[in-house]
Amino acid sequence: MGKLDGRVAIVTGASRGIGQAIAELFAAEGAKVVCAARTLKEGDHQLEGSLERTVQNIVSNGGQAIPVTANVSEEDDCMRLVEEASAAFGPVDILVNNAALNYYIPIEDYPASRWMRSFAVNVHGPFMMSKAALPAMIERKGGAIINISSGAGIGPGRGPYPGARVTGGTMYGASKAALERFTQGLAQGLAQEVYEHGITVAAFSPSQVVPTPGTVFHHLVDGLDDPKGEPPLMMARAALLLASEPLDKVTGRVTYSQQILQEFGWITNGKGTGIDRPGSGFSQI
């Protein structure tokens, strides 16, 4: 028995890093996972990782998954992604908006086209994906939309990375702040938007920088095994918690991975180096 047995999930940005970890854990917990990204095959992108690899990892471990290439900044792709997910596995129960884009460029040098493109992925994408997935969730009176945010969204000097100063992060922080406001508005806004339909909407950020091919490339961590970083599985655990716990306990939350895991007793120590949840196939990070 898994936490997500029989449920259908879409995870965007599932070709590597946090998205890959979420997709693989969701599948291990019984979900049928639609892995979405732009990178289908290894070598299609300069960074390591691909949808084919993620899906193969899931299938090799007895799970169910399919790859769907999609650009979440395009509405047609968002609609097609939900349609292909429904055709393959049935109506979507869980949407994880994880895909993100940033260019670490100072504002005075930031090309407007890249600013617009980043906002299209980081903010417009989750809106369009949610809009596409919501009708089936509303019809079935249940579901979950989980948005992956960042400590950058609350501004310099107040996040979970004391002393960190990354030049060129203004756009990323602004887009994540917008994503968090979208999350709270959808969950608790006028007429509480989707609450009356039993749909969880929540967002969370890593409590520390997560070592991924992207954060290594941008020199935010020293490598994939950087001991100062938060393992991607920690983020996957937090996503699983928000997608599976009762609506009234989690909807509308904008939180951090280790904070929510500790609150619900899914984490065994304050440093976040171990997970020990009864019934889980993953006892340690």
In whole angstroms, how far apart are CA 243 and each of 35, 109, 131, 212?
16, 39, 18, 23
Give me 254's structure tokens: 């904008």
Helix 232-244 and helix 17-28, axial crossing angle in degrees, nearest 10: 50
CA distance 176 to 100: 9
Which of 161, 172, 195, 256 is labelled catalytic? Answer: 172
Q: Which residues contact 63 (CB under 8 A, 6 or more apart)?
A: 24, 27, 28, 33
**Which of 50, 149, 175, 257 is flagged as catalytic?**
149
Is residue 103 part of the annotated active site? The answer reads no
* Alpha-carbon span 126 to 121, nearest angstrom: 8
How far apart are alpha carbons 239 and 241 in whole angstroms?
5
Known catalytic residue at 141 = no
Rounded distance between C-alpha atoms, residue 127 and residue 133, angstroms: 10
Residues taking part in catalysis: 149, 172, 176
